[in-house]
Amino acid sequence: MKSFWSIYRARNREFYRDKGSLAWTFAIPLLIVFAVNYAFSERVETFFEVGIIGSADQLPAWDFLHQPYTDIIYYGKGNVGEKTAMKKLLHHELDLLIRIGTPHTYWLNDTSPRGQLIADIIGYQDDHQSVRNEVSGQKIRYVDWAIPGIIGMTIMFGGLFGAGYVIVRYRKNGVLKRLQATPISKTAFLSAQIFSRMTILLMSGIIIFTGSHLWLNLVMMGNYGLLFLVLLVGSGSLIALGLVCSSRTNSEELAGGLLNFFSFPMLLLSELWFSLDSAPEWMQWLSGVLPLTHMVAAARAVMLDGAHFLDIAHHLIILTVMWIVFLAIAVSLFRWHND
């Protein structure tokens, strides 16, 4: 344990005494948050977002549904599709949700101005055969939806590259070889790397969250401790994956290629910037095997839906298993030197 804490402290010193690295690590994510807020807060939407549960052939005969300014999004029948669509209506991501049937059933959000506008339009056009329901939910701005993704992205890059490149540098310049000549074990060394990096990444996540909360009035419906737990296991799994990528090589180019192999799919498929609800099934499956997807989904559920522990337990279990498996692989593949 003494060895572990010794490496942990040394690695932390390496980070916080490098002022340039320190500043960039914390400043860049905050700049991205403000850029996203600025870019999307002035957006003028020119159409209604309508969710449909059921077949396209049996849409109600309301004119506005067939106009170019209305975007129709179809959700699968059953609990999962309906639950997803309802959540979007609650967050004002949908203005109207219709379940096709006889009669049709539709839901509006009574706190949404556009939802009320649709209610008035339907009032003129409806044959009074449809069943109307109302739900209430706070509007989720794009920046509220994006911030869990930005925190996740920061942790992903910091975990994969921050941990991976350091190991390659240590191996290349002989730091690891010198440590090999001491009684420290691979497990103690790698665990110290993980926990040191995790400390930095969690601080980074807290700074992004606090900055967004103070200046952008970020939505936070759930428990702070639970969000912290999500970021903790998420960062653990991503750092351990970074260590797998750097477990043997002393080539920065090779390590960079391996790290990009994992980071690019996560950047595109882990729902950082956009939802994959309407993406092909294979893409959604691929998204589901990536650790960042689970971390962002769980963080978003806690922050935007007020999810409890049991609601996100499956994400936490998957991330914990990934963390253990990646660490075991990293320890078994790890070499102190490549002479």
Partner 1 sequence: MSKRYRQVQAVDNITFAIQQGECCGLLGPNGAGKTTTMEVIEGIHSADCGEILYHNKPINASFADEIGILFQHTSLMDFQTTAEVLQMFQAFYPRTLPINDLIAQCNLTDCVQRYATQLSGGQKQRLLLALALVNDPKILFLDEPTTGLDPQSRRHFWQLIAEIKKTGKTIVLTTHYMEEAATLCDRLLIMDAGHIIASGAPHQLLVNHFGDEARQRNLEDLFLTLTGHGLRE
Q: How far is the CB of 31 from partner 1 (least distance, A)?
A: 25
Would you say 231 and 155 are in contact if contact means Cβ atoms under 8 Å apart? yes
Estimate to the nearest angstrom the gap between the alpha carbon of 297 and the chain centroid: 5
Would you say 320 and 238 are in contact if contact means Cβ atoms under 8 Å apart? no
Helix (H, G, I), strand (E, B) or coil at 152: helix
Omega prior to 103 cis, within 30 of 0? yes
Q: How far is the CB of 258 from partner 1 (least distance, A)?
A: 23
Binding segment for partner 1 (CB under 8 A), chosen from 137-145, 177-185, 231-239, 280-288, is: 177-185
Q: Which residue in 62, 75, 107, 170 binds partner 1 (CB under 8 A)?
A: 170
- Which among 279, 194, 310 has a CA at the least distance from the CA of 243? 194
Our finding on whether 5 is near partner 1 (CB under 8 A) is yes
Q: Which residue in 41, 67, 125, 173 binds partner 1 (CB under 8 A)?
A: 173
Q: Which is nearer to partner 1, 178 or 314 (CB)?
A: 178
Residues in the interface with partner 1 (CB under 8 A) total 26
Instruction: Indicate the burial class of 226 (C-beta count within 10 angstroms; 0-12, 13-18, 19 or more).
Output: buried
Binding segment for partner 1 (CB under 8 A), chosen from 90-98, 181-189, 215-223, 288-296, is: 181-189
Cα end-to-end span (Å), the chain: 29
Q: How far is the CB of 324 from partner 1 (least distance, A)?
A: 25
Contacts to partner 1 from residues 14-33, by CB under 8 A: 14, 17-18
Token couple for 47: 């159409």
Alpha helices per DSSP H over the chain: 2-16, 19-41, 79-90, 113-125, 142-173, 175-180, 186-216, 224-245, 252-269, 281-288, 291-305, 313-333
Q: Which is nearer to partner 1, 11 or 104 (CB)?
A: 11
Q: Which is nearer to partner 1, 196 or 270 (CB)?
A: 196
Our finding on whether 9 is near partner 1 (CB under 8 A) is yes
Q: How far is the CB of 256 from partner 1 (least distance, A)?
A: 20
Our finding on whether 337 is near partner 1 (CB under 8 A) is yes
Spatial distance between the Cα atoms of 113 and 59, rounded to a whole number of angstroms: 23
Instruction: Indicate the burial class of 79 (C-beta count within 10 angstroms; 0-12, 13-18, 19 or more).
Output: exposed
Contacts to partner 1 from residues 227-286, by CB under 8 A: none
Token couple for 325: 């498996």
Q: Which is nearer to partner 1, 77 or 178 (CB)?
A: 178
Q: How far is the CB of 7 from partner 1 (least distance, A)?
A: 7
- Which among 222, 195, 191 has a CA at the least distance from the CA of 306? 222
Our finding on whether 177 is near partner 1 (CB under 8 A) is yes
Our finding on whether 182 is near partner 1 (CB under 8 A) is yes
Q: Which residue in 138, 180, 251, 320 binds partner 1 (CB under 8 A)?
A: 180
Q: How far is the CB of 17 from partner 1 (least distance, A)?
A: 4
Give the residues lining the site for partner 1 (CB under 8 A): 2-3, 5-7, 9-11, 13-14, 17-18, 170, 173-175, 177-178, 180-184, 336-337, 339
